Amino acid sequence: MSTSGKGSFAHLKMWIHPFTRFHQIPVFKRVWIYVAIIGVYTLIVHWCLGSCQDWQALKDAAGLGYVSIILGVLLVFRTNSAYERWSEGRHLWGQLTNDSRNLALKVSRLIRIPQVEKQQLGELLVSFAYALKHHLRASTPSRDLPGLEPMAELAGKNLPVHVADKIFARVGAWKAEGRIDGIDVLQLEPHLRALMDICGSCERIRTTPLTVSYRAFMRQGIAINLLIAPFYVSNIGLDIWWKLPIIMSAAYFLIGLEMIAEDTEEPFGKGGDDLPLDIICANIQKTIDQILPSIQTSEQAPKRFTSEFAQKKADPLKSEE
């Protein structure tokens, strides 16, 4: 098969996989139960409309309260606002990767200090990335981080701030001892400052979600919309088995979009739609170990952060090689 043919086939599979692998999509695992409930509710409403004369008046009144267009606009705003937070988190972790690498490169090539001390600084940079990840997830590393005290002694401390303080203290000691000059400090300072800027920005995303009132309003709107929908659709001259997929599809997309927004507005967790912080931290470690090889042997170095930090997230919409 030609290259262009393979490319077209791969592109076609990208559109097919969302339908053939929908059960692997993170949001589907949470939304299907709600869709099933709406389906059962629709059947109950259909039976009541056919059996109870008093319910017939609700068919005409339902159209007056059906505000799907307005709800759609609000839901788009909700989703976009949540995605902006996810996108900013991705940008910040990309910046952390770049600043960690640049700082390691400058220390490696421009600073005249013993190699052992350069390697120790490299370990602290790796520890900062993992410390920030655990801080944002409100978790504790299962093992001690390189260059730091035992985790039991650090309980209750802001871990990334503690690591950053050690990095600043190390550079400050080099300057105080006359081992580096003011020009060297100026070269390192932008990357050092970026560590806490990134930490503060990530904390802002984590601690300032969208307002409770707005989130509650959206959920109320979706719930009312879906409760009214069976009455509104009953005016359409179709069999119930045609109406049911229409309503369940609407429920799937409305509830699914709200759940996607919930996940993406808090992008630092462990869910399938969250940022792959484990992979990002592993990449930072790999690059810094390349620039400033660990004091430990190559066989021992990876054991500092074992499988819990290296689990890759499978993308259900991509073909397996």
Q: How far apart are CA 199 and CA 169, in angstroms?
A: 18
Closest CA to 93 of 291, 270, 278: 278
Give the pLDDT confidence score for residue 221 in this predicted structure.
85
pLDDT for 159 equals 93
What number of other Cβ atoms are within 10 A of residue 247's Cβ? Answer: 22
> Can you say how many angstroms the Cα of residue 227 is from the centroid of all Cα atoms in its chain?
31
Residues 6+ apart with CB under 8 A from 240: 42, 43, 46
Domain ranges for the chain: 25-309
- At 225, give phi and psi (nearest 5°): -60, -45
Q: Backbone phi, then psi, for 62, in 5-degree steps?
A: -60, -35
Contact call for residues 184 and 85 (beta carbons, < 8 A): no
Distance of CA 316 to the CA centre of its chain: 16
Cβ(184)–Cβ(142) below 8 Å: no
Q: Which of 87, 84, 68, 34 is nearest to 210 (CA)?
A: 84
Judge contact between 194 and 95, C-beta under 8 A: yes
Q: Print pLDDT tens along the chain (321 aa).
A: 455 555 565 656 666 666 556 666 767 778 889 999 999 998 888 888 777 666 655 555 555 455 567 777 788 888 888 999 999 999 999 999 999 999 999 999 888 888 999 999 999 999 999 999 999 999 888 787 888 877 777 778 899 999 999 999 999 999 998 888 889 899 999 999 999 999 999 999 999 888 888 888 888 888 888 888 888 777 676 778 888 888 898 888 888 888 888 888 899 998 888 999 999 999 999 999 999 886 443 333 334 444 344 444 555 445 444
Q: 């690059």: which residue's tokens?
A: 287
Collapsed DSSP state (helix, strand, coil) of residue 240:
helix
Q: Which amino acid is at 26?
A: P
On the CB side of 271, how many CA atoms lie within 13 Å of its CA?
Answer: 20
Q: What's the CA gap between 83 and 13, in Å, rounded?
A: 26
The four Cα atoms 155, 161, 167, 168 give a dihedral, to 10 degrees, of -130
Amino acid at 260: I
What is the rounded CA–CA span in Å between residue 104 and residue 125? Answer: 8
CA pair distance 168, 125, nearest whole angstrom: 11
What is the separation, in whole angstroms, between the first and last Cα of the chain?
Answer: 16
3-state helix, strand, coil split of the chain in percent (to 5) is 75, 0, 25
